Amino acid sequence: MLEKDFAAPESRAERLRSFVRRAVPYVVLAIGVFFLLLAVIGFISTLVKSQSLREAEGTIVAFDRNDENSWPTIEYTVDGQTYRIVSGYKSSEMHTGSSVTVLYPASDPAKGGMSSESFEAAIICAMFGSVATGISLMILRDRKKHRKWEEEKAAAVQYGDETPVEPRPAGCLAIIFSVHFYIGIASLVIAVLSLILKLAEPQKYSSFGPILFGALGVGFTGVGGLLRWIFRHFF
């Protein structure tokens, strides 16, 4: 009786752990897809805004903590009226007195902003979403291969055939290589979207973004994909 009483909680705890192990990859996959959707929405929003907003020449007049590593305060003039905004975007090239381009809606010039703000957020979402989605899909694929192996093993035992070799689950190195690979995929997607923005508004966007993310995409995808293939086939 005591053994039964003690065994029951352990059984419930084991079922709970098993449920969590099964659910976590799906939760991570849902989070990854969510961030990928945010990235797509961010890129589309950037493209639409760049075509519908007006632009003005702005000047960085200060930083919010008197520190050039903090957010820049930008001053710009529209129809003789001067406005100030604190931008959510910064780079190492920004200094007090630097000129920047401010985009603003014609109906409310006070709501200005830099074109790079939503684009930067979309890049972060694309990177995080691609890594989370890729890793979760890899784990789910390994589970599917293991279930298939268990079915083949049961059939081999039943009919007296040779037991198939158990597939090896993805280790830490495989996950690291996969992260490199999916970061590369995300970089290539960002490079394509950056190129679209550049072609749509050549005066507002430089060629640096497509070139940088294209190079990162080729490098990360090539190296990550090669190392994944070597690890799977030779180790």
Question: 95-109: per-residue pLDDT in tens?
Answer: 788 888 787 877 788
Residue 231: predicted pLDDT: 67
pLDDT category at 1 given cuts 50, 70, 90 is very low
Q: What is the pLDDT of residue 5?
A: 47
The pLDDT of residue 129 is: 84
- What pLDDT is recorded for position 34? 92
Q: Could you tell me the pLDDT band of residue 3, with boundaries at 50, 70 and 90? A: very low
The per-residue pLDDT for range 65-84, each reduced to its tens digit, is: 655 567 888 899 998 889 98
Q: Look at residue 117 in the predicted model and tell me its pLDDT.
A: 57
- pLDDT in the model for residue 134: 78
Average predicted confidence (pLDDT) for the chain: 76
Q: What is the pLDDT of residues 162-200, one digit of tens each?
A: 777 777 666 666 777 777 787 888 888 888 877 887 787
Q: pTM for the whole thing? A: 0.59
Q: pLDDT (tens digit, 9 = 90+) per residue, 146-158?
A: 788 888 888 888 7
Of 53, 89, 55, the C-alpha closest to 73 is 89
User: Nearest 10 degrees: CA dihedral of 42, 45, 51, 52?
Assistant: -140
- pLDDT of 99-135, one tens digit each? 887 878 777 888 787 755 566 777 788 878 877 887 8
So what's the pLDDT on residue 65?
66
Residue in 198, 187, 194 with CA at minimum distance from that of residue 221: 187
The mean per-residue pLDDT over the stretch 31-36 comes to 89
CA 143 to CA 22: how far, in whole Å? 9
